[in-house]
Every structure is written in C-alpha cells, then in structure tokens.
Structure 1
C-alpha cells in the first residue's frame, strides 16, 4: 500500500540486522552511528523492510545525519513502546506517529524539527517526550490528552510559551518539565494544576515574573530559573543561588501579601505606606547587593594558564581515534574539598546526574575523573584492538575490553530480567556505542596502563578518594568538540556549587563511613570554595595544538553563579 513500500531483496541483503530481527522475532533494534548513516545515505532513507518488524518494542535510529525524514510506514509498528530518533537531521515527523498506541517513550532530540505533528497528542500511553535541541517555536495544542506524561524535555528550542491547555489537571503525573534555553516569556499561574511536578527547569528564558501560585506545587524539589531577568531583584538573587526552598517560601509570602492587598479597601492607607515601602525597598536592595557580592565571591574559578605552569599535563591524540571517538577535552582542578562528610558522595552523584541528563545516559558524552597524583604523565589518547586493551575497571580485576563488555552486557541483561523490562537499559545503550568498531578508544599513561576506556569505564588505579587534592577531568564524545566543552563547563560549575555547599555546611570528615585514613589537617582550616582550573593542551602526534581547555570562549561569565578569573 501507499504507506508501506514493498520489501526488496536488496533491503534484506544490505540490512542483515533487519533480516536477523525478523527471523529471531526480536523486540529491539538499534541503528547508530556512521556505519548505518552510510547505508541510510545510499538508500535514501531507512530500509522499507524495517516497517515489517511488527513485533518491535524498541526502535532506535540515532547519530545518522543522513536521516531527514521518517516514512509513514512507521505506523505499522503498533507494538512499539520506545521510539528513539535522536541526533539525526529530521526536518519532519509524519502525523501517523499518533497511531503508535503503545508508545511510552518518544525521543526526537537533536534534530532539525520546526514543528511537531498533532498526532503526538494521540499517544495516550506516552510517559516521556524529549524534543530538546530542535527549532520548535510552538508545541501542539492538546498535549494534555497525553495524560500519562511524566517527563517532558523541550530545552534548547525557540519556544515563547506553552499551549493554552498545557496547565491542566489532566497532566497529574507530570513530574519533570525541562524547558531551559528557550524564549519563554510567561509562566502561567495555572502551573499549580500540575500537582505532581517535582523538577522544573526554565533557566535562560525571558521570564519577568514567577507566579506565586508555583508555591502550591507541593511536590517541587528542584527548580531552576537562572538566566531570567526578573523584575523582583531579591527573587532573582535567590534564583541565581538555586535555593529552591527559599524561593518557594518567598513566593508563598508574596501570594499572601497580594491577597491582603486585594482585600483591603483603604486606598488612602496604601498611599500613605508607599513612601515607607520605597525607603524599605532601597535599604533592602543595598543589603541584597552586598549579599549578592559576597555570594558571588564564594563561587570563584581561577584559570591557570599553560604558560604559567611548565609542568602542566598534556595529552597526545593519536590519528586513528578520529574514526572511533574523536573529541576530547581535559583540565586539572585543584581546591575541590572532598574530605568532609558526604562531599565525595555528593560529587559522584552530581557526575551521575550529568551523565543521565546532559550526556544522554553517556550516549552523547562521557565524563571521567582521576586523581592527578596517581597519573604517570605524559598521557596519550589512542586506540587499541579490543583483545589487546586491558583495563582494571572500577571495582573489578584486570580484563580485556572484550571480556569487560561481555560481562557488563550479561549484568545489564540480568538487571533487565529482574526488573521485567523489555526495553534497552541505560547500560545497554552506551555499550552499543562501540558495536562494530574494530578499534576501541583509551587514554594510556607513560607506563602503558589504560587509565580510561570511554565511554565504558575509567581505571581503578587512578580512582579519586576523599584525600584527592587534584582532579584530572576528561570529557570525550563522538558528537562534537563543543559538546565536550559544554559538558566540561557544566561539570566545573557543579563542582563550584558543591564546594560552596561544603564550605558553608561544616561536616566532620568520614561521617558517611567511607573515610580514607586520618583527616587531612588542612581540611580543618578555614574552608575556601575557590577552584583552580589548570589549562590542558591536547596535541596531535606532531605536537600541533588541537585544543586547549579552558579557553577564553569557555566558562563564560554568564554560566550559573560562577565568577571566572583569567
């Protein structure tokens, strides 16, 4: 028929994965990266045979820039529960996607979409919608029909607002709304109708006001309004400090104050108080400005230039990594206090959150951290045969990359069975990044030891501990160099925030039961949250500079609440 082209023998010959999936009645199929992109380019799109796999629960086609459209034959895959079409160049999605009545997860992030089809609003089982990193200017009316939605990510688009029916009691399961880096001008007071909302990120938009009704969202745990120029400067200061509880308390107080004013019938009394209020506001502004200056001084990153440190680390990049995982940025950070209480645990949890969110569960980029004192310089970023790449993975004995991936795959399969899942787990997803690669990327020290095997693991030999004073940070990606820089920026900002928290909340070392020997005497001195970020150069095998991080264009002053001193 017109929406399902006939399956040709060429399809089956050129796409053996489809033939195998049909024979074995597989429920999952993943096409990812350059190998499949070449086939899509040669074929003029996805093979039509894929639409005959009506048993599929999970379909992923990602990192294929040649994929610009999806055929209407997609509607035949009525058992699909997860459709992942991220990091391609889709310019449109057919309206028949609304016929995928079993669909729970739809990921269209990092494409070239300017609009979503209305069919999306017919997905009654949808729980997760990710359309971040596109060029959307509006969302379709009727999203409230998707009553099972729990997570919506519309960040990095061109949205100026939400649909009129969006703030609805029907979306009583919506717990996470991520909409940073848009042009949203107003947050409706009806936001309180989203009763299950726990996480709200509207940073870097064009909001002037935050409605007091937001304080009625009783389950809110994390809010982010940074980067909005609010009319209420006191509230703006709280926003820049990410003080969720303080913000909600303040909004709650404003709501009560407004109700009192609305109920008052003495207009003359209000005028009489106006002068006093203005004087009080001036005093509060002066105090707030002083407080804000002190707050900013607590979050400082000082960049140490390569030229100022002759012994600074450098990383030599081999020529062959360009075909596997070409992008890498590194730096060294000093001044991160991991000694007190749960400081180390908080840092590791923050890294995990960055992996899950910004790094797309490690499929977009991967972070690794090392103790500088345990690194034998110089370092080389190169490739090895899977059978020859040996690494002491975190918490494991030494094994080859082949053995490690096989073991991780078995563990991921077992986890999926225990949780009775049919979908690919997060662990499965990043394991598949190396599928079909003849060589694997790794960072090797001067003694030939592999200290990092991205995106899989880093080494037990250089693992950070509470006593770590200097951290070597690396971010690798197959996507772009800017992706690596963005992730590293976010990591350093988060480290500054954690260090500020640690310095303000005195904890005894080892309170989490994970102490590493006696407490460092220096830890008991006056705490400081200033970070020193040492630039690191990556160079090619001839010594030519590839990238230095941070450069003047990195860690811009408008990132978070961080002051960068060059």
Structure 2
C-alpha cells in the first residue's frame, strides 16, 4: 500500500524510471503540497534514478532542503537547477560530492550561509570537481564559504547578484585558486572593499559589481590580462572623476585610468610603475604589429590556406544591430549573445546540409542537448532591428514556427506534446526525436522567452524553434546568430565562438571543394528544427584566404545601458593557428 501511495504521489518518478530518462523537471501546482507532505524535502525515490543528467525543481515554496541521498543516488548528474524555492538557511546535508556536475543553479532561494557540512560539498577532495557555472543570485547570503575555490576549482561563471555580501573571502583570489573563472557577477550586494588580489584571476573577462558600497577600485584590477567588461555603476567612489567614468565610459578607458595611477593605485610610485607597465605593453604591441605586418614571401604563401575573420566594431558600422533586453527574462532565460556574420556560401553541393548538421552537433555536445544553451541562426535580410528579448505568457506569444502555421506558444507546445505521444506509439519506444525532445525545458515556466523584431514579430522561441520569417536557405549569405542560456553568459560566448569558427572552416571547405550536388530547401528543413533565405557570397576565391565578416552586436537594457557586446577582444581568443582574427 505504501509503495502504491508513493507511485500515485510521484507519477513522474515512476515514468522516468520506466523510460530510463536522463532529464527530469518537477513543477506544477501540486508539487508544493507533495513536497510539504514529504517533510519539505525531495522524495527519496528521486535519488534512485542514477541515469539522470539534468534535474530541475523550481518554484516550490515548500522545498527547504534537497534531502539526503542526492549525491549518492545521482552520480551522473550534469545540471542541477533548484531555483525559486525555499532552500535555506543552509543546505543540510551538503550537496556534494557530485563528480560530474557542471551547472548548479540555486538562485532565488533563502540561503544565508554555506558552512562546511551545510554547503556545496567537501573541499578535500573537491566535492564539485567539474563545476563550471554556479548561480547563487537572489538569496540572503552574508558570506561565501572560504573553501569555495577548493570545492569547485574549475569554476568559470559565478553569479552572486542580489545577496547581502559585504566582502569576498581572501581565498577566492588566492593565486591559482580559480584559474578558469571568466565571469564574476556580484551586483546589488553590500560590498565595501575589493581586494587588489583580484588581479590573480587570470581568466577574468567580465566583472559586475554595480550597486554596492565600494568607495575605491584597486589599480591592480587593470592587471587582469583578459578583463574586457566591467560594471561599477551605483557605487559612491571617492575619486569623483572615476565615478563619472564608470557611469559613461568604456571599460578600456577605465582600466587605462587605473593603470596610470588613478584612485586606488595612489600617486608617485604607483603612477610611475603604471606608466612603465603601459610603455612596456605599448612596445610589445608595436613589435607584434611589425611582425604580423611583414611583407615577405612567407606571409603571401601562408595566406592561401588561412581562414580570416574580420571583426567589424560597432563604431565602424553605420547600422549596427542592437538587442534590447526586458527585465522579465531574468527569471526565465536571462542570458543572450548576438552576432552578425556576412559572407557565407551555402549554395554549392551539401554546404547547407553540413551547416545544419554542425548546429545539431553543437546542440548535442557543447549545449548539452540545449540544457546549457540554445543557438539559432537567421536570414539577416529578414531581421528588422532593433530586437527585443523578452518573456511572454504562453497564450500571448505568437510565432510562425519553421514549417508550420502561426500558433500561440501554448497551442504549439500542446501540439508537439501530442506528436511526441504519437511518435512513442508508432515506434513502440519511449524516446522521441526533433523538437519534441526539448519540451521539458519549458516545464514550470509561467512565461516563455522570445526574440521580437521591430515589426513586433517573434523570430525566435528558445529553446524550441525559430520563425519561418527568418529561415535560412541555400541562398543565404548574411546571417544573424543568437545564443541564449538559462545558466551562464560565458556558455553563450563559448557556443558562439564555436559556431563562428565552424562557419569559417565550412566556408573555406566549400570554396575549395565546389560540389555538383545540391540540397533542396525541403531536405534542409528536414535536417534541423532551426534553419535555412538570401544573398551572394563576397568571400575570396578558391586560391585566396577565406574571409568572413563578423559584426559586433550590442545587448543593452531598456534604458540603453550596455550589458554585453560580442565579439569583444576577449572573444574568439582560442581560434586555431590557421584562423586569423582581424580586429
């Protein structure tokens, strides 16, 4: 009787076990009551599903703790999303060890502290050795665990926005502690001081410490070798000139000011040392430019086999594309990165098919079956900017999906669910294909994310589909690319990097191997749920370097303040030797 009662209370678990599912999302109006009946914890039976890679339990006000057995029962878990619940004040028992976990989202809970035994996991050996993205935003944390870096040594993105922190633990900035950390967000806290040791974060690219209580910015911040985007707005700095700069100047100007002895670096010796460093950097840049600008025969010979990516900066573009972000996406799918690529040649042979296949592979691998991120490509001529990235109720979101008639998102999702059930019956197996595999990623969301053009048409509904309006076809030459994520800005950039570099390689291959066969638009649509319309390729010929132009796209809030620009100098930095990025 007891087992039967459990099955009736948690039919999702029985279904997941029977179908050997790797993704599970628990949500809905009945969840809160069932969790309350389980003592404010997740049911123990959940931890008997060892095949799970993705687990999300969101929007449950009665969930106070995950419960014992998670670490032992879910050893293959890659993504754990427990946002907008009531976890806190600590985690008892602690979450780890979770050896395969890469994404952990605990945002929007009631966490106040994560001490040893009630935190993320042990430090020795590391409890979260593969963790890349940690989101602790929207909690009540007064301090961070001192052993965070030892617990998660491969951390790349750390979001602490909207807590009660007044300082960072010194161990966080210890040399070599977090060698891969590229994104640190701690806006809307009570931070009073930023240690000069932040310069030890060798991979830091993005830093957001807006709306805190900082009165100085250490000059050592300028020594972060990869830092390209900073936000210190909303802090009352003693140096009024610097305070004005952080409200309106580009990151490079602020770092230059700090580098030559601005507030935080002092005067005299600090200024002299800063000037010497900058002079040394300037000479190195000049030597590098002389080497790269040589006119010898070796340069000419090498050009024939090289892939060139020319970055067109916003300041050089007479009509740059901009994406405005509405605040309501913060609780749904907050991260987006965009770029424009000109010069693709998708007409010969199977070029379009290879392009579609490469996107499918990215979705499966780097995007982790769209659980980490989703990419989409659009025919640029059909995109009318500026674009608006927002969230709408399912009954209000209308789109003309690829290969379908216009429908509201609510109707589309229901139709896809019915098709999935039909697939299962016909194939006599539980797995489904196509867009149907991603429906679970929408579960529990009151609003759905969407990208809207200047005409008011929805051109993208991530992570499900694009619009027929901007479908890419064989004749497409210029494209708008977008990557969205619910977990990390850095994963958006990583996916965009991979996509653009792949496009460059494909373009070179197409130019060198003109094929007779051709893929029809109908065949192309069948390959992928997102793709294939217009233009002629301005790329170089077969015997010269293949050139793609990548135009920067700015993502701003509704007031026009910059959130991110891609590609920045820190992006496309890992291009292979045969690819030259011209900035």
Secondary structure of 2:330's match?
helix
Q: Whole-Å Cα distance in 2 between the matches of residues 548 and 517 of structure 1?
A: 26
Q: Is the 8 A contact 1:45 1:69 kept in 2?
A: no
Secondary structure of 1:552's match?
coil
| CA distance 1:61–1:41, change in 2 (3 Å) | farther
Q: Is the 8 A contact 1:339 1:519 kept in 2?
A: no
Aligned residues: 376
Compare 451-460 and 296-305 and name the one that shifted more.
296-305
Aligned partner of 1:303 in structure 2 is 311
Give 1:299 deviation, angstroms.
1.1
Aligned partner of 1:400 in structure 2 is 408
Aligned partner of 2:399 in structure 1 is 391
Compare 28-37 and 392-401 and name the one that shifted more.
28-37
Aligned partner of 1:91 in structure 2 is 96
Q: Whole-Å Cα distance in 1 between the matches of residues 340 and 34 of structure 2?
A: 41
Q: Is the 8 A contact 1:393 1:459 kept in 2?
A: yes
Select the residue among 479, 497, 511 that pairs with 2:518.
511
Matched, 1:326 2:326: no
Q: Whole-Å Cα distance in 1 between the matches of residues 474 and 433 of structure 2?
A: 31
Q: TM-score, normalised by structure 1?
A: 0.55
Select the residue among 347, 355, 369 that pairs with 2:363.
355
| CA distance 1:293–1:517, change in 2 (3 Å) | same
| CA distance 1:518–1:538, change in 2 (3 Å) | closer
Aligned partner of 2:265 in structure 1 is none
The one-character-per-residue Cα deviations of 1:422-462 (angstroms, maximum 9, x if unpaired) are 46767555212221211111111111111011111011110
Give me the CA root mean square deviation.
4.8
Secondary structure of 1:461's match?
helix
The one-character-per-residue Cα deviations of 1:107-145 (angstroms, maximum 9, x if unpaired) are 74446889999xxxxxxxxxxxxx99349xxxxxxxxxx
Aligned partner of 1:251 in structure 2 is none
Matched, 1:337 2:342: no
Q: Whole-Å Cα distance in 1 between the matches of residues 80 and 46 of structure 2?
A: 24
Aligned partner of 1:71 in structure 2 is 68
Matched, 1:546 2:551: no
Q: Is the 8 A contact 2:379 2:534 kept in 1?
A: no
The one-character-per-residue Cα deviations of 1:446-501 (angstroms, maximum 9, x if unpaired) are 11111011111011110111111210000000011111001000101111111111
Secondary structure of 2:546's match?
coil
Matched, 1:133 2:130: yes
Select the residue among 323, 326, 332 that pairs with 1:315.
323
User: Which segments of 5 or more consecutive residues in structure 2 lack a partner in the other structure?
Assistant: 82-93, 105-119, 133-152, 156-178, 181-296, 523-531
Give 1:531 deviation, angstroms.
1.0
Q: Whole-Å Cα distance in 2 between the matches of residues 517 and 470 of structure 1?
A: 9
Q: Whole-Å Cα distance in 2 between the matches of residues 64 and 292 of structure 1?
A: 57
Q: Is the 8 A contact 1:371 1:464 kept in 2?
A: yes
Secondary structure of 2:377's match?
strand
| CA distance 1:520–1:60, change in 2 (3 Å) | closer
| CA distance 1:44–1:305, change in 2 (3 Å) | farther
Secondary structure of 1:530's match?
strand
Give 1:32 deviation, angstroms.
4.3
Q: Whole-Å Cα distance in 1 between the matches of residues 385 and 535 of structure 2?
A: 28
Q: Whole-Å Cα distance in 1 between the matches of residues 55 and 13 of structure 2?
A: 21
Give 1:420 deviation, angstroms.
3.5
The residue correspondences of 1:397-546 to structure 2 (distance < 5 A) are: 397-422=405-430, 427-508=435-516, 511-514=518-521, 529-546=546-563
Compare 416-425 and 313-322 and name the one that shifted more.
416-425
Q: Whole-Å Cα distance in 2 between the matches of residues 551 and 446 of structure 1?
A: 25
Compare 428-437 and 319-328 and name the one that shifted more.
428-437
Q: Whole-Å Cα distance in 2 between the matches of residues 114 and 26 of structure 1?
A: 29
Q: Whole-Å Cα distance in 2 between the matches of residues 354 and 512 of structure 1?
A: 21
Q: Whole-Å Cα distance in 1 between the matches of residues 16 and 463 of structure 2?
A: 30
